Structure 1
Amino acid sequence: MSRFDVFREAGNPMFNDNQLKLGIFGPNVNNSCSMTLAETSFKPDFKTNVKIAHMMEDAGYECIVPVARWRGFGGPSNFNGRCMETYTWASAMAAVTKKIYLFCTSHVPTVHPIVAAKMISTIDDVSKGRIGLNMVCGWFQKELEMFGKKMEHAQGYRYATEWIEVVQRMWSEQYFDHKGEFFEIQDAWQEPKPSQSPRPVLINAGSSAPGMHFAAKYTDFHFSFLESIEQGKEWTNHMKRLAWEEYNREINTFTTSFVVCRPTEKEAWEYYNYYVRERGDDEVTDMICRLFNVDTASQSKEFNKKFRENFIAGWGGWALVGTPEQVAEKLVKVSETGVSGTLVSFVDYLEEMPYFNERVLPLLEQAGVRKPNKESAAAEAGMVEAERAAAEVAAAK
């Protein structure tokens, strides 16, 4: 039996029968994924996150992935400057949810692996086996410098490799010694251990060659951006082949998208134009372009415009702009690449997500990429039965 079969038999939602799985990205940081100054009711506080999570559970989503940030990027919006720390966020969210799979995003240079292993095991107990780990090495140097850390890229993945190997031994072994390049541990011991079989789900979004090899060797899902439908197929096939041929492992892929769904295409693009082109935070976008070493001077105006707009709109995610039918069609095409699912983001979750859930999700069920949500179906059947009973009472009078 493969590792994926074990996850599936254990009822892990990340391995359910839905061809296209859905999650939410970054509800724990201000602006979430949108670098904009547009008005919104969204706040990255616990109360709002609980409301979002309950909407997700009612609609049948699979997961939430928070963003790990220790400082903002500056600019008028100070993008992602307000952030709920992800281990404590995950533990709190675990206590008030029942089905959704939660991830903890962790900068591996900032947390000792023994501490990380213990915290994830604790959240595993709180959540009854619904916590996974998203490992990031850290690319925003100002954050790592706050911790007195500064690593070259290749060194970062050597560190991450040793880090996750210690974490996994803490989860599965008792009384072991470890001596490596970065950690020396004597007589390691931990209780409790995670209840999940075979272990908590691991994800990573490394895009360099060392990052992709790290993901292929250790994780269950590799996260990345879609540049095109064809590129999505090539990326997924590459990662599956890399994992199997180099490490004799299975791996899936996951991407991220931003949603602007309205009754008409005109309304959707009008709102996109407002929050991206009129109210986009150009200052923070310039800063992020520099951090990603985007040489705008050597690119065409069309490339620069599209690249910048995608970052403002949703951290470079795949654009889902249009009517419910158009958004559903685009999601079906994402599914056809072989990508397991997508995290979605909204400018205003509480205002926009209910419409997406009500209008788009049934279309995905009709297209066969998602199974009917049992709770929604049961609730609808209950309403029909209640209406029938009320009609009978009225007729009897």
Structure 2
Amino acid sequence: MSRFDIFREAGNPMFNENKLKMGIFAPNLSNSCTMTLAESSFEPNFETNVKIAKLLEDAGYECIVPAARWRGFGGPTNLHGRCMETFTWSAAMAAVTEKIYLFCTSHVPTMHPIVAAKMISTIDDISQGRIGLNTVVGWFPKEMEMFGGTKMEHDKGYKYSTEWLEIVLRLWSEQYFDHKGEFFEIKDGFSEPKPVQNPRPVLISAGTSPAGRNYAARFTDFNFGYIESIEQASEWTKTVRKLAWEEYHREINTFTSSFVVCRPTEKEAKEYYDYYVREQGDWEVAKIITDMFGMHASSHSKEYLSMAQERFIGGFNGWPLVGTPEQVAEGLIKIANSGVSGTLVTFVDYLKEMPYFNENVLPLLEQAGIRNPVAKNNSITHKKEAESLIGSR
């Protein structure tokens, strides 16, 4: 039985029968994934996150992936200046949810693997097997400087991550061991409790460079990445699956991110997109981030740079889904047919926009056969539980 088969047999939602898995990205960050000054009720706090999680569970989403940030990027929005730390966020969310799969995102240079392993195992116990780990090398220099270091050279960062994750995996499965490597030395390594999940918590990582893809292929269950076109998404998925199988005899899936502007008419959707991106967009922070990714290089045209910055403002470089419910559903169906196994959707205002999306887009995905119908669960009970919890704070 393969690792994926074991996950499926255990009922892990990340390996269910839906052709397109769905989740949301970065509800723990100020502005989430949008770089805009447009008004929104969204706040990266516990109360808002509980409400969002209940919406997701009632609609049958598979997961929530928080993003790890230690400081803002500046600009008028100071994008991500406020961030709920992902391990403590996951523990809190595990206690107030029942079905949705949660992830911790860890900048591996900021946390010792012994600490990370025990924290994940503890949250796995709280959630009864609903926690996964997203490992990140760290690409924002000012964050790494806060921890007394510098941003690692790209390939060295993945060597560090490899040793870090190998230690975590041993702590989850072994009782006592010694380790002496390039970056860590451990005597009588030990951690209890062990994870509840079998064979272990789900692992994901972003990275489309050769080193990033090799790391994902060797260790993780999902390679996360942003797509440039449906054709590129298909090629990326085929390439990383081929690499994982031929080099490590492992299965792997891909996951992406999409930002959504869904309205009753195409005109309304495009007008709102123009408003929050082109009129109210934080173009200063978009330039800061695209420069950080090297998109200012002279090889790129002004038109390309403007398009890239729009994508970052719209949803941190996610795939744009702007239009009517039918048009948005068509875009999601194309992602599913490309071979990408899932997408994290993002909104300017989750609590205002997600109910319309859930009511009008998800049924179209069910009709298309890429998601199974969700049995009507006790959403009233969920609502009362959330209101009671929030009201008691």
Q: Is TM more than 0.5 here?
A: yes
Aligned to 2:162: 161
Instruction: Find the aligned partners of 2:360 and 2:194 in 1 and give their Cα distance.
Output: 41
Corresponding residue of 1:325: 326
**Equivalent position of 1:132 in the other structure:** 132
Where does residue 29 of structure 2 map in the other structure?
A: 29
Using the TM superposition, give the Cα deviation of residue 33 of structure 1 relative to its aligned residue in structure 2, in angstroms.
0.3
Which is further off, 294-303 or 54-63? 294-303
Shift of 1:142: 0.3
Aligned length: 379
Q: In the TM superposition, what is the alpha-carbon distance from 1:296 to its structure 2 partner? A: 5.3
SS at match of 2:258: strand
In the alignment, which residue of structure 2 is the partner of 1:222? 223
Structure 1 position 207, deviation (Å): 2.0
**Structure 1 residue 128: deviation in Å?**
0.4
1:57 Cα deviation (Å)? 0.1
TM-fit CA distance, 1:131: 0.1
The answer (yes or no) to whether the contact 1:107–1:137 under 8 Å persists in 2 is: yes
Correspondence for 1:11? 11
Is the 2:57–2:99 Cα contact (8 Å) retained in structure 1? Answer: yes
Report the 3-state secondary structure (helix = DSSP H, G, I; strand = E; otherwise coil) of the residue aligned with 1:256: strand
Aligned to 2:73: 73
| 1:110 equivalent in structure 2 | 110
Per-residue deviation, residues 192-247 of structure 1 (Å, max 9, x unmatched): 00010100000000121111100000000000011001001000000000000011
Q: In structure 2, what is the equivalent of residue 59 of structure 1?
A: 59
Q: Distance in 1 between matches of 2:62 and 2:327?
A: 22
Q: Aligned partners of 1:191, 1:316: CA distance in 2, in Å?
A: 39
- Secondary structure in structure 1 of the residue aligned to 2:99: coil
CA contact (8 A) 1:229 1:334 kept: yes
For the Cα contact (< 8 Å) 2:296–2:305, is it kept in 1?
no
SS in 1 for 2:273: helix
> Which amino acid is the alignment partner of residue 283 of structure 1?
E
Within 5 Å, give how 1:230-379 maps onto structure 2: 230-295=231-296, 297-375=298-376
Query: Which 5+ residue runs of structure 2 have no aligned equivalent?
Result: 381-393
What is the deviation of 1:379?
Answer: 7.5
Secondary structure at the counterpart of residue 178 of structure 1: strand
Q: Give the Cα–Cα distance (whole angstroms) in 1 for the partners of residues 203 and 30 of structure 2.
A: 25
Looking at structure 2, the residues matched to 234 and 190 of structure 1 have their Cα atoms a distance apart, in angstroms, of 40
Query: What is the alpha-carbon distance in structure 2 between the residues aligned to residue 164 and residue 255 of structure 1?
Result: 22
2:390 alignment counterpart: none
Q: C-alpha separation between the residues in 2 aligned to 1:298 and 1:182?
A: 37
Question: C-alpha separation between the residues in 2 aligned to 1:123 and 1:130?
Answer: 8
How many Å separate the matches in 2 of 1:35 and 1:187?
A: 47
Aligned to 1:392: none
C-alpha distance in 1 between matches for 2:148 and 2:376: 48
Which stretches of structure 1, 4 residues or longer, exceed 2 Å deviation after superposition? 295-302
Deviation at 1:295, TM superposition (A): 2.4
**Which residue of the partner structure matches residue 391 of structure 1?**
none
Partner of 2:201: 200
C-alpha distance in 2, partners of 1:209/1:296?
21
Amino acid at match of 1:186: K
Matched residue of 2:37: which SS? coil
Question: Per the alignment, in what secondary structure is the counterpart of residue 53 of structure 1?
Answer: helix
Per the normalisation by structure 2, the TM-score is: 0.95
Identify the residue that residue 144 of structure 2 maps to in structure 1: 144
Counterpart CA distance in 1 for 2:191 and 2:334 is 45
Q: Residue type of the partner of 2:180? A: K
Paired with 1:233 and 1:220, the residues of 2 have a C-alpha distance of 17
CA distance in 1: counterparts of 2:142 and 2:9, whole angstroms: 43
How far apart in 1 are the matches of 2:25 and 2:117? 23
**CA–CA separation in structure 2 for the residues paired with 1:161 and 1:375:** 43
Matched residue SS, 2:160: helix
Are 1:296 and 1:304, in contact at CA under 8 Å, matched by a contact in 2? no
Pick the structure with greater CA Rg.
1
For residue 169 of structure 1, give the secondary structure of its aligned residue in structure 2: helix
Aligned-partner SS, 2:31: coil
Give the 3-state SS of the residue equivalent to 1:259 in structure 2: strand
Deviation per CA, 1:122-167: give whole Å up to 9, x if none: 0000000000000000000100110012221111111100000000
Equivalent position of 1:390 in the other structure: none
SS of the aligned residue for 1:257 comes to: strand
1:38 is matched with which residue? 38
Q: Deviations over 1:6-48 (max 9, x none)?
A: 0000000000000000000000000000000100000000000
Q: How many Å separate the matches in 2 of 1:49 and 1:188?
A: 36
The answer to whether the Cα contact below 8 Å between 1:332 and 1:369 also exists between their aligned partners in 2 is yes
Q: Taking every aligned residue pair, what percent have the same amino acid on both sides? A: 70
Deviation at 1:337, TM superposition (A): 0.4
Equivalents in 2 of 1:283, 1:300: separation in Å? 18
Unmatched segments (≥5 aa) in structure 1 = 381-397
Deviations 1:267-323 (A, max 9, x none): 000000000000000110110011001125432333122111000000000001000
Q: Does the CA contact (< 8 Å) of 2:137 and 2:161 recur in 1? A: yes
